[in-house]
Amino acid sequence: MGTRDDHDDDIDTDDDYDDDQELEFEDEESAKTEKWKEHYSSRQRILFVGEGDFSFSLSLAKAFGSAHNLVATSLDSYDNIGKKYSNGLNNVMELEERGCLVLHGVDAKEMSQHFFLKTQRFDRIVYNFPHVGFLYPENSHCQIQLNKRLLKGFLANAKALVKKGGEIHVTHKEGDPYNKWDLVKKAEKIGLALQQVVPFFKDNYPGYDNKRAHGKLSDASFLVGEASTYKFKLQTSNICNN
Ligand SMILES: C[S@@+](CC[C@H](N)C(=O)[O-])C[C@H]1O[C@@H](n2cnc3c(N)ncnc32)[C@H](O)[C@@H]1O
């Protein structure tokens, strides 16, 4: 398996050159026209948090024809992306070729202190299916507490990185035990206001492969079932601080 350094040392072939030219042309075209995919626009600066195999950010990059406005992050290291996911490294490579900045080892609970992210502000910050991994049974108190802590940390850090007027999106499964995570209550306590809740359909994002991301079945999908995207904004009283 390739390391990050092997990957950086790849030598361009003629085919790569043609592909690069094609992507550059796509970029120029898409810079002229704004493209929308569901809630997301090619003009928005978007931060993706807790990516699995990076197929969600890549799906948007393909829809936009460019990824220059995108920053995609994982908690996993680059090497772990290769070990855990069959398409992970290819997806990262394609994102980077399209102009996306890909960062690894980014902890959602501390990301506002990240050396690069702390210098940036985003129109959209997106975390699909936050989950700490299957450490205890899904319904157990310990597991719920850990997931609540992750949500709280993410929301507090996203609040520091979102632009005035921007939105923080959490896509979350509905029903028990997920409704015990108190997503909306946590967000409101932190100073975020719920704007909208919209049903989430995986098929709206071609190529997106939601991942369990933990243990021997890291590369397997989980059943999305009934899920929603929760959109939060800064409460108006917080806007002057941003
Ligand atoms: C259920 S998976 C979903 C993965 C991906 N978002 C998707 O939709 O396929 C949960 C993700 O949260 C990530 N994660 C867990 N704790 C995290 C943390 N503290 N900071 C950032 N990501 C975290 C895991 O690495 C994993 O990728």
Q: For residue range 85-139, what is the model confidence (pLDDT) as tens digits?
A: 999 999 999 999 999 999 999 999 999 999 999 999 999 999 999 999 999 999 9
End-to-end Cα, the chain, rounded Å: 43
Nearest ligand 1 atom to alpha carbon 109: 19
Q: What is the pLDDT of residue 237?
A: 76
Burial class from Cβ neighbours inside 10 Å (0-12, 13-18, 19+) for residue 11 reads exposed
User: Span 174-198, mean pLDDT?
Assistant: 97
Higher pLDDT, 183 or 16: 183
What is the domain extent for residue 34?
A: 4-241
- Ligand 1 neighbourhood includes 51 CB (under 6 angstroms): yes
Distance from C-alpha of 220 to C-alpha of 217, rounded to nearest angstrom = 5
**pLDDT for 236 beyond 90:** no
**Residue among 132, 230, 226, 231 at smallest CA distance from 174:** 226
Tell me, what's the pLDDT at 14? 56
Asked whether 150 lines ligand 1 (CB < 6 A), one says: yes
Please tell me which residue, 174 or 241, carries the higher pLDDT value: 174
Answer yes or no: is the C-beta of 81 below 6 A from any ligand 1 atom: no
Q: What is the pTM of this model?
A: 0.88
Say if ligand 1 is within 6 A of residue 211 CB.
yes
Residue nearest to atom 7 of ligand 1 (CA): 210
**What is the pLDDT, as a whole number, of residue 238?**
62
pLDDT band for position 19 (50/70/90)? low
Q: Which tokens is 74 given?
A: 């994982």
Query: Which pLDDT belongs to residue 6?
Result: 42
Alpha carbon distance 107, 97 (integer Å)? 24
H helix intervals, 41-140: 55-64, 78-84, 88-97
CATH code, domain carrying 9: 3.40.50.150
Q: Which residue has the higher pLDDT, 215 or 4?
A: 215
**Ligand 1: does its nearest atom lie under 6 Å from the Cβ of 157?**
no
Q: Which residue has the higher pLDDT, 141 or 18?
A: 141
pLDDT category, 8, cuts 50, 70, 90?
Answer: very low
**Ligand 1 touching residue 104 (CB < 6 A):** no
Query: Number of structural domains, the chain?
Result: 1
- The packing angle between helices 88-97 and 55-64, to 10°, is 30
Does the pLDDT of residue 42 top 50, yes or no? yes
In the predicted model, is pLDDT for residue 195 greater than 50?
A: yes
Give the sign of the dihedral formed by CA 63, CA 69, CA 152, CA 234: negative
Adjacent-strand bridge partners of 172: 228
pLDDT by residue (tens digit) across 64-73?
A: 999 999 999 9
Q: What is the mean pLDDT of the chain?
A: 90
- Summarize the confidence of residues 222-226 as an average pLDDT: 94
CB 194, CB 150: distance < 8 Å: no
Is 59 close to ligand 1, i.e. is its CB under 6 Å away?
no
Taking the C-alpha atoms of residue 166 and residue 152, their distance in angstroms, rounded to an integer, is 19
Query: Hey, is 155 helix, strand or coil?
Result: helix
Mutate to test the pocket of ligand 1, among 127, 132, 169, 209 (most ligand atoms within 8 A of CB): 132
